[in-house]
Chain A
Amino acid sequence: MKFQKRTIGLIIYFILLLLPIYWMLNMSLRTNADILSAFSFYPADPTLDNYIKIFTDESWYSGYLNSFYYVSMNVVIALVTALPAAYAFSRYKFLGDKHLFFWLLTNRMAPPAVFLLPFFQLYSTFGLIDTHFAVALSHCLFNVPLAVWVLEGFMSGIPREIDEMAYIDGYSFPRFFLTIFTPLIRTGIGVTAFFCFMFSWVELLLARTLTTTEAKPIAAIMTRTVSASGLDWGLLAAAGILTIVPGALVIYFVRNHLAKGFALGRV
């Protein structure tokens, strides 16, 4: 009896949760004229025109490519720099380690709006504006600390005896790290990569400000469409649905690490 009441409550919550997303899906399968002329709970005459337009119009699909490009760059930079640092934090005590860790953390929590202006000035000086690298680098602001933190958690779960044995066996540090340690924490690396990907993917403010045409992310292209092209709701909804897909696809693999990642990562 009690179990059933719970389940019903949960089902109601999930319906409320999915309703806005469903509504966007509904819109994305209809033409703009259809949306504006008739109110309908489901696409009476479903069409894939909006999706076809996005996949064939370069100004649209290039947005997705740009996003994927800088997000991947960001994930690689974050992982490569964070792996050794996380190892240091999990294994060694060194001068200023606690302060350094806290300082990293503050960057994770800094308002991106604060960094907007100086980023723009700095990257203009180096001619980096409107490159994928600029966005990837700016997203390191929050993703590198996140990567260090999540990886440190996973590394601390590996007993230190493994390191000691390897050193006794004559392994050098780089060889030990690459051939023994990295495979041991591959779950951690996967989870970290997922969260870095996610946080870079959902960010709009920095990505939009640091790009103009060449590296414009899909998120920015969408906002431009809202204001300019007389609001094509169907197209906008289809573009939105497509941005949800990558996250929805991989979420299943990290479900057991979700709470931890989001707690540290504050989406």
Chain B
Amino acid sequence: MNKWEDNKAWFLVIPVFLVVAVSAIIPLMTVVNYSIQDIFGPGQRVFVGMEWYKEALTDERLHDALSRQLLFSTLVLLIEIPLGILIALMMPKKGWGASLSLVLVALPLLIPWNVIGTIWIIFMRPDIGLLGAAVNGLGIPFDHTASPFAAWVTVMLMEVWHWTPLVVLLAYAGLQAIPEAYFQAARIDGASVWSTFRYIQLPKMRGVLTIAVLLRFMDSFLIYAEPFVLTGGGPGNSTTFLSIYLVKLAVGQFDLGPAAAFSIIYFLIVLLFCWLFYQALLKVGTGDKS
């Protein structure tokens, strides 16, 4: 659509600009300010330059948290994307079944994040939880508060349970957009289920799947509330992801400088993915219209 060219449109954007400025620009400036100073108390601060950045970049625990985070995000993608596509393929295309499936699938997405953690604590407890008791009943000792492995399995299960629905919704939307004529042609050609998927459905879903991959990657990169409620980052530091570590540093130990420097680095990493996401989105957008 051709748009009118008019810089007066800025007046319409000003309210949004102001609100977001208060809630984003000013805080971000404050973080930058903290990240280059050593703060002892009100009015007592020393300029330290890049010191905190150096410290953050050489912090062992930060490296551990980062590699843990990358492993986590990679696993999330490897499990959730294929699973999500599979479930989207199984969902009915129309009728009451489609509505019901959509509503059921979306349910985990609407639960407050800390409640997700609570649900899984209750579900995995060895004494009162259904799954925890079942696994222990099979003779496999399983306690997510004691063993790092069990904690990882629990966090992964929770993550897959919570977020696969998003992939399902996106993949389903992508599948719905494929014209029926494609399937008719495939049927006439006698294409198998697999080749229909491989040569029609998968290529047509490329756009939404790009979005799904990026969204899942970024979101799992920011994960905080669910593992915090479930494991508190433990046992030890085994499930301390980046956000959890950052909050520990900032609120727990009140190390303003290093926490701020860490925030900036963290933010820049996310910004990079953000940019990739936006580029992908633009490509998808133009692809749809042509």
Contacts and interface: CB of A to CB of B under 8 A. Distances in A.
Interface in B1-47: 1, 3-10, 12-13, 15-20, 22-24, 26-28, 30-31, 34
A145 interface: yes
B16 A85 contact: yes
B113 A85 contact: no
Contacts of B31: 114-115, 117-118
A6 to B, nearest CB: 5
Nearest to A109: B274
B135 interface: no
Contact of A94 (B10, B166, B225): B10
Contacts of A100: 13, 17
B130 A113 contact: no
Contacts, number: 285
A116 B250 contact: yes
Given A109-B270, A118-B26, A262-B169, A85 B12 contact: yes
B102 A205 contact: no
A140 B266 contact: no
A81 B106 CA distance: 28
B250 A92 contact: no
A201 B225 CA distance: 13
Interface in A51-87: 77, 80-82, 84-85, 87
A104 B106 contact: no
A251 B107 contact: yes
Contact of A36 (B34, B127, B165): B127
Interface of B: 1, 3-10, 12-13, 15-20, 22-24, 26-28, 30-31, 34, 86-87, 89-91, 99, 101-115, 118-123, 127-130, 133, 161, 165-166, 169-170, 172-173, 193, 208, 211, 215, 218-219, 221-222, 224-225, 229, 242-243, 246-247, 250-251, 256, 259-260, 263-264, 266-267, 270-271, 273-275, 277-278
25 contacts: A6-B90, A20-B120, A23-B122, A35-B128, A77-B19, A85-B13, A89-B13, A91-B3, A92-B6, A97-B9, A107-B23, A111-B270, A112-B224, A113-B246, A113-B247, A117-B30, A117-B259, A122-B30, A202-B110, A205-B243, A219-B115, A226-B229, A233-B128, A247-B107, A262-B169
